[in-house]
Amino acid sequence: MERELAKSEPKLPTQLTQQSPINMSWNSLYTNVYAPYSETKSACVVESKTGKFYAGVLIENISYPLTIPAVQAACAICLSEGEIPGKLYVDAPDLEQLSFWTKEFDLEVIQTDSPPLDSLENLTHTLNSNIEIKAELKSLLKKAVTPNSDFPVSALLFTEEAYFEGVNVEVSEWTKGICAERVALCKAVASGHTDFDRFEIHAEKGEISSPCGACRQVISEHMPYHGINLHHSDGTLSEHLSIDLLPFSFKSSVLKK
Residues acting as catalytic residues? 181
* Angle between helix 98-105 and helix 70-80 axes, rounded to 10 deg: 30
Q: Among 232, 228, 255, which residue's Cα sits nearest to residue 240?
A: 228
d(CA 114, CA 91): 9
> Do the beta carbons of residue 16 and residue 2 sit within 8 Å?
yes
d(CA 55, CA 47): 9
